[in-house]
Structure 1
Amino acid sequence: MACPLRTYPLRQPRNYKPLIPRWQLVLPAGVERLFTCCVLTSACSRTPATMTSSKSTQLFRLGLMEDEDPPLANERFNYLDGDDLPGTSIWVCYWNDEARGKRSLQRLSLPSIHSSLPENVRMNVGLWTESFLTPISRLETNYSGLDYLPGLAKLPGTKTAEHELTAYWGAARDRIPESAHDLFEQDDAAQGSRPETTPKGLGQHLVGTNYDHMVHIRSGQFWENCGPEEIESYENNLEPTLRNGLGYLWDNRNDGGAMGLRYLGNRDEAGHTKKETCGAGFFTSLQTLEEWAKKHKSHLAIFLGAIKHAKTFGNERKFRTWHEVSVLKKGEASFEYVNCLPTTGFHVNRENTMVLDSKPTHDGCSSVRREARICLPRAACGHFYIYRGLTIRTGVTGLPPVVVRYPEDRLGRRSEVPAGVDISAEIPSESMSLGTPT
């Protein structure tokens, strides 16, 4: 049977042929929906984490890896920068079956783990999970080489295929199958007004879900196999531009649309950070991420730096980049935080349509249910901003209910090209890469 005609044309230029090869993931027959879960344990203080989270880390490992539906692939990370705190332990877990992933996460039970900790540990430990379902029709992946295939590519039975949807504006969108018939327009819920009062996070249990067309991206860099000269070039020249780009997104959430964005380093068995990193987080929409990648000087610097690096090392280059992007329908993501600082987790600057329930606490505080929306700015200045659509469970340590008031002002959304930046040449770039273009 012939494939149905596209409603929206490819953005690929006519008669276009990429100059460099790229590959994308091919999943086994019968796999239609993937499930991804990020799990974290951290010390809830500004002091360096020591033994406070070791017990919860052990319980996480037992709960996930020895479950009857364990993840089929997983990676562990050290926190480097962004929307969390130093000293956190982070896992990313993948399943190729939605039901198995959700069952495993449900049995993990963050409140149970937290309540089982010794009291002197419990008060200093925060736990969270961020999980999401991805139909493969709304997934795109891209790899610069076949000698390094992380993330979803670690799932059993996966293969890769070379493709030509790369290195032009809109290439990442073109690689999403459903983009043939869906523009993934930003949900109206991504606009919102800031409240005047925020919850403390500590002593609270916050859970919720997403609005329509929210995007998750994990974009990585690998230079473990590089020679000394290429390692020095990446670490001294290219990586600083990547950090500057991430810094812009953290500091300009209204324009960049970043939420819960973290810079992570893969860790070895001894806990040391390897020469392998990724940026991972959510964005208000695909278009918001595309606009930053296409127009802003911080991403342009990443792109030009990557070109210079590639020209310098040519065919001997061992540096690898990759990414995976999911466009999420309403309700396909879930967020849960137990006893977390307001600098932790899903930092949203748009409506999240999160629904949280409250329960009576041990000291007799009454159950409360409030409508709100969630907005969380950068970790460095972070506070939880609660919005319409979310309620707060105060039953973890008995904190009183949070009162939320809503001012009438609304936030601006449009991203603009900065003064003095010449982008008239429209230099092709991989518009979904948080790091170097792939």
Structure 2
Amino acid sequence: MESAIPGHLTCPRSRERRIDDDFVPPFPAWVARADASLKDVVMGYFGVQSKGPAALPKARAALQHIVRGFSLVDGPGRHDLAHYVDEAGYDNLIAIAYWDNQPGFARWQASPAIDGWWSDEARLGDGLGYFREILSPGTERFETLFSTADRKEGVGALMGGTSAEIQEHGYWGSMRDRLPIAQTDSIEPSGALSVRDLAPGPGRRTKINGHQNLAVIRSGQEWTETEGKERDLYLGEMEPILHAGMDFLRDEGQSIGCYANRYMRHVEGSGQVLEKSFGLSYWRSLADMERWSESHPTHLAIFGTFMRIVQELNFQLKLRLYHEVTVLESGQQDFEYVNCHSKTGLMRGV
């Protein structure tokens, strides 16, 4: 086994890991690897919001316009499409895009074709809502984890390489132990979300300021290749409990430090739903996320059910799991909402 933290980001620890050096995880896992030339990335969530079946074709056309923009100079190296219905009953179509350098993203975003369309006042009056949530961490501020070594999702797909089996997983606190910044930094939050410009609500363009060490997790699963007993167990037992936990974070998460949560299904460009899903959560801090995962009944039910199913299947799974966790400096966050309802994304946190 090797450490989840690559050699070029390893430094003498002033904050200890939660495990001893001879710890052996209960099952294998891998992380994405990039060479030392990768200094930072951009994770962009570009959303189109609508309400009711009649508005969906127009929303899909708007999303397709956004995706076409990805093919312009300095566009992203990877993107996914997803859909979910939020607590207010609005459809949210989202393109999640990843860049492997921040200057390239900045040039792309500032180009006339991209900025002109986004800044156009027509965005406030065409009957749709729009948002973009841009995360720009350095490589020391995010970590990845994959249950298989042969396919990567999200930011991991940009990183080129894959580790050998890693040691820091399969125990509470392993997220923190995989983060390079956490070798020496407690990554405690400071400050609070705040509104720039107009207050949240329809007919407005609202920008939200983040705060120091806000944490984000994208955690996904794919059951395309499952069959027989494993498929029945996942769809009949695992997924309903996972869904309930995601709904708790969406509806009641603010009480435990979760600003917003979306439980999304991957879709194709045509709108065809795929057998892949993920939760995206914004948290006040990594510590708040850890407390939920370690002690809250909703997550203990998810984890306990998963471990029971894994053991019942003798650790032989075709279910694919992954996540990426990011802890951001205040200047690495850009949240903007155009004509969206007031509980969209980070607006609900203010």
TM-score using structure 1 length: 0.72
Within 5 Å, give how 1:316-335 maps onto structure 2.
316-335=316-335
* Residue identity matched to 1:11: R
Between the aligned partners of 1:271 and 1:146, the Cα distance in structure 2 is 29
Q: 1:103 deviation in Å?
A: 2.3
- Provide Cα deviations, 1:176-224, integer angstroms capped at 9, x if missing partner: 011111011121437x9xxxxx946211111233100000110001110
Number of equivalent positions: 338
Asked if structure 1 preserves the Cα contact closer than 8 Å seen for 2:265 and 2:277, the reply is yes
Asked if structure 1 preserves the Cα contact closer than 8 Å seen for 2:42 and 2:98, the reply is yes
Gaps of 5+ in 1: 193-197, 350-374, 376-438
Give the match for residue 366 of structure 1: none
Secondary structure at 2:55's aligned position in 1? coil
Between the aligned partners of 2:60 and 2:27, the Cα distance in structure 1 is 45
* Pair 1:59 & 2:65 matched: yes
Asked if structure 2 preserves the Cα contact closer than 8 Å seen for 1:10 and 1:174, the reply is yes
Give the match for residue 162 of structure 1: 165
Give the match for residue 336 of structure 1: 336
Give the match for residue 7 of structure 1: 14
Between the aligned partners of 1:20 and 1:145, the Cα distance in structure 2 is 11
Between the aligned partners of 1:152 and 1:263, the Cα distance in structure 2 is 18
- Provide Cα deviations, 1:11-62, integer angstroms capped at 9, x if missing partner: 114531112111011113300101110001122x456533332442232123
Give the match for residue 102 of structure 1: 106
Give the match for residue 432 of structure 1: none
Give the match for residue 23 of structure 1: 30
- Provide Cα deviations, 1:218-262, integer angstroms capped at 9, x if missing partner: 000111010133222111100111111122222323332222311
Q: 1:339 deviation in Å?
A: 1.1
State percent identity of aligned pairs.
25
* Pair 1:149 & 2:156 matched: no
Give the match for residue 32 of structure 1: 39
Secondary structure at 2:313's aligned position in 1? helix
Give the match for residue 201 of structure 2: 201
Give the match for residue 345 of structure 2: 345
Give the CA RMSD over aligned residues: 2.5
Give the match for residue 3 of structure 2: none
Q: Return the match for 1:183 from 186, 204, 218.
A: 186
Asked if structure 2 preserves the Cα contact closer than 8 Å seen for 1:218 and 1:281, the reply is yes
Runs of 4 or more above 6 Å deviation = none
Between the aligned partners of 1:57 and 1:127, the Cα distance in structure 2 is 10
Secondary structure at 1:270's aligned position in 2? coil
In 2 relative to 1, CA 112–265 (structure 1 residues): closer, same or farther, beyond 3 Å? closer
Q: 1:348 deviation in Å?
A: 4.3
In 2 relative to 1, CA 162–46 (structure 1 residues): closer, same or farther, beyond 3 Å? same
* Residue identity matched to 2:204: Q
Between the aligned partners of 1:53 and 1:59, the Cα distance in structure 2 is 10
Between the aligned partners of 1:30 and 1:83, the Cα distance in structure 2 is 42
Q: 1:168 deviation in Å?
A: 1.4
